[in-house]
Structure formats: structure tokens, C-alpha cells
Structure 1
Amino acid sequence: MNNKVMYSVENEVATIAINRPEVKNAIDKETHEELYEAFSTAKKDETVKVIVFTGSGDSFSSGADLKSIPTEELGTFDYGFYLDETYNRLLLLMEEIEKPIVAYINGMAVGAGLSLALACDFRFADRNASFALSFLKIGLVPDAGASYYLPRLVGLSKALELGTGVKIDVEKALQIGLINGHGYPDTWIEQLTMAPLPAYGMMKRNMRRGFEDSLEEVLAYEVEGQREAGKSQAHQDALQAFLQKSQKK
């Protein structure tokens, strides 16, 4: 990895940080490549139990780096093709990861920067953080998964309101359910390192399916997931520990 994304692992936690503070962590094509590499590495590393996604400096991300598009290409630039090659590819990878992903929003999260935070399992923010989906202000529609994740988090009406580009602070974000809390979530991250796999990943997948599939289908997913989880080493270890504790009483 080069220096546009920083990657480190400590105490079973992989931290992925966009490292372009000079442009408020705006995301260009090279940053996308490094983010994809970082998340792929964290996914494969069996010593990593939790992934924390953040930014360097005083910003999470100001979104897509439009200044990286050559001026002569602006009139013919295919935003749809760019999405497929960058954000959509990254989002589908994040969706596949069974491990908990926590966004720590250490400053502004704007446009596609906010969209990427929405794709994480949990979102915590610095008290001075701010949030905005600014796409309409430049004549574009919200993208990078915002149309999928945001209504699920805050409801359709509030998602449409945020989609107009209104800027909100941490207290408002907490009130509407956009974030889980403020301050760096040390204790929560530590607890998440003990989340059993593959059970956590299947829980995440089944709950997302519950928004669209029928009760009958979701019940079938739970049967399938429980069958697989019941055979996992994590379940066997937890069951053995429970039985030993019960015998001591």
C-alpha cells in the first residue's frame, strides 16, 4: 500500500484510514485501489477480529475528489462507469466481510464519504463531526450505496431530507439514528473482538435480507445459518464454557 491509505493492526483490530488530509480525505482512483486492498487484507487476515474505518487529520472524508478528473474530460465523463469501477466494487467487498466494521467519523463526512460510513455496521463520531449528502447541490444523485443504506437507518422521509444536502451535527445524527454514539468507541470495539464468527456475519446478512424478503424466506435463512453456526468452533467452545460454568454452580 502507498500513503493514500494507512493500514495497521493492533490487538486484533485492523484500522484503515484514508490519508489525504490536505484535501479533507477526498477519494480519487488511487485511494479506491488502496482501500480495496486494505479491506481485502483485513478480510483475509485471521488475526483480525474487527475493522475500524476512519480518516486522518480532522476529516473522515469530503467524498469524491472531483478535482482529480481531467478538465478536458468533464463534459464526457461517465460517472456510472466510474461508480462500477470504484465505489460499487468496494461496497460489495465490504458487504461480504463477516467481521464487524466500525466507522469512526473523526470530522466531516460529506457526499460519498458519508455513503461509505453508512455501509459500515456501526458508526461513531467525534463531537465536532458533521454530515451531509451534497450530491444534489452539484446536480447529481446520491450514490455509493446511500440510496440503499440511508433509508434503512433513518427511514425514507428523513433520508430524502438528508438527500437535499442539509448539514447536520453529531447530536442530530444521534437523534435520528444515523450514528450509534459519539467519541472513540474503545469499549465497544473490544467487545466486538469477541463476536463469534461465522455467526456474526450470518446475523448481519440475515437482518439485511429481512428488509426485502418474506418472513418465510428469512426463516429459511435462519435455519441455514443456525445449522452452519452450530457446527462452528466458536459455538462448540462457547457451549463447553457454558456447561462448565453451570456444573460449578
Structure 2
Amino acid sequence: MVSDLVLTDIRDGYRVLTLNRPDRLNSFSAELHAALLAALIAAEQDKSCRALILTGAGRGFCAGQDLSDGVFTPGETPDLSVPIEKFYNPLVRKLRSIPMPVVCAVNGVAAGAGANVAFACDIVLAARSAKFIQAFAKLGLVPDSGGTWFLPRLVGPARARALALLAEPLSAERAESWGMIWKMVEDAELMTEAHALAANLATQPTDGLALIKQALDVSETNTLDAQLELERDFQGRAGRTPNFAEGVTAFLDKRAPRFAGRA
């Protein structure tokens, strides 16, 4: 069943979404895309959900596109722009725009679109055994799912070009040292760390965190003047929320704040 392809674990203030095709290293099929997008929309519609964890079942996070899922038939010329437009682009846009922090817990391999979907999340944790692979060049393809956008911004143009052109695996340890991910952790500690992050984020001012996500994304293309004006406008919005009043009151009262969720 489609619903079995993404497992949803509802916790106090956050959800865990687990890609569940372990026999295929959680590679993307049309059905998996539909299930993941539906799970993200359901989380967005649940106002009690204030953070997400995205991870994979079994020994890998996601091996990218399942090439046996009808994208290539011997003797025929496929139009790969169709699945990109139908599945991958909406998924990346949803991960970037969803109004809550998304923590990606990368267990094992994250290859091709699997790597770039991880980079579309807000905070990336990786197990020591994890590897990131821009596998596209080995198939004569171009990095998609935002790969050509994320890579230069995460690691700089020189490393981005080498990763894309050579398609060599990058260890979690190297990914952390290059600033590609937030943190590498020991395999046994990955989900404990991810749950701790999500639980903490679920207690924070969710609307303010959503504005931070928006501001950081547009800063990549804004001029300084445009970004300063956006910061002015966003700060005006944030300052009118009950969470700002609660944060200041808690600071003055010398107590922990009790922030509300999404409006």
C-alpha cells in the first residue's frame, strides 16, 4: 500500500517520517513520491506539529531514483524532465517552504536525488557510516532535485564541481568538515540525536523559525539592500506575534519561555 511507503510516527510536537522501501535502499518510485508529499502535507496541516524528522528504513537513507520504476525502457528515449517536474521539484519546494524546521537523519547511503533531498532539509545529521554521492554523472545526467543549487552554496564552487563531475562518495566525516551537513554522529546515536533536536525545535517559536527559513532562502539571490528591507519587514511581523511577547516576558521573569506553535 502507498501509505506503507512512508511511515509516520507522531510524537509530542513533531513527527518522524521514514522512507520505507528498505529492499530498494528507499529509492524513489512514483508511489514513494506520492506518499512522501502526502505525509508532508499532512504534517503541515496539523498545527500541533512544529518540527519534522526525515529518515530512511534499513541500511540506507535514499539511493535516488529507482531506475526500474519505468523511467527507462531499452530502445526508447525517455523525457526525464517529466518526473523532475511532476515529482522532484514539488518535493524540494515543499521541504524548503514547509513552515517548520525539518531535520534529516541520514543513515547509510544518500545518493543522487537522495543526497539532494537531504540537503533540502534545514538541519542534516549523518551517521558515521553515511555517504553522500552525486551519482548523476555516472549515468550521463545532471544533478537534479536542487543539486546544482545546493552544492555550490554548501561547499563552494570548486568542491561542488568535483563532486558533480567525479560522482565519488563523500564520507559523513568529510561532509561535516566541509560544512555540507550540521553534524556527524555515531551510527547508534543518530536517531537519539535527531529526536533531541526535533523535540527542542518543537518547543521554540515556530512562526519565527519559519520566517528564518524564508529569509535565508531568499538571501541567496537578494542584494544587501533588498535583504535589509526583508529583515525589517520580517522583524516587524515577528515582533507582533505572541511568541515575541512571551520571550521577552520570560527573559525578564528569569524563567523558561513557553512558546506557542503555528498560528
Question: Which letter does structure 1 place at the counterpart of 2:182?
Answer: N
Distance across 2 between alignment mates of 1:95 and 1:121: 8
What's the TM-score once normalised by structure 2's chain length? 0.89
- In the other structure, the counterpart of 1:55 is 56
Structure 2 stretches lacking a partner, 5+ long: 256-263
Q: Spell out the pairing of 1:203-222 with structure 2 (5 A cutoff).
A: 203-222=212-231
1:168 counterpart (170, 179, 182): 170
**Does the CA contact (< 8 Å) of 2:6 and 2:32 recur in 1?**
yes
SS at match of 1:69: coil
Q: Note the C-alpha offset of 1:244.
A: 2.3
Q: Spell out the pairing of 1:1-249 with structure 2 (5 A cutoff).
A: 2-69=3-70, 72=73, 75-164=76-165, 165-183=167-185, 184=190, 185=193, 186-245=195-254
Q: Note the C-alpha offset of 1:55.
A: 0.3
- Residues 50 and 130 of structure 1: CA distance in aligned 2, closer, same or farther (over 3 Å): same
Question: Which letter does structure 2 place at the counterpart of 1:26?
Answer: S
Q: Note the C-alpha offset of 1:201.
A: 1.2
What's the TM-score once normalised by structure 1's chain length? 0.94
Taking every aligned residue pair, what percent have the same amino acid on both sides? 30
CA deviation string 1:161-210 (max 9, x = no partner): 11120111111111111111123224333322222121111112112222
* Root-mean-square deviation over aligned CA pairs: 1.6
Q: Which has the higher contact order (CA 8 A, sep 6+)?
A: 2
Distance across 1 between alignment mates of 2:181 and 2:254: 36
Question: Which letter does structure 2 place at the counterpart of 1:43?
Answer: E
**Does the CA contact (< 8 Å) of 2:111 and 2:133 recur in 1?**
yes
Question: Which letter does structure 2 place at the counterpart of 1:172?
Answer: R
Distance across 2 between alignment mates of 1:116 and 1:18: 12
SS at match of 2:3: coil
Distance across 1 between alignment mates of 2:209 and 2:150: 19
CA deviation string 1:184-239 (max 9, x = no partner): 22433332222212111111211222221111100111111011111112112112
Distance across 1 between alignment mates of 2:13 and 2:254: 26
- Residues 233 and 161 of structure 1: CA distance in aligned 2, closer, same or farther (over 3 Å): same
Q: Note the C-alpha offset of 1:74.
A: 6.5
Distance across 2 between alignment mates of 1:220 and 1:48: 30
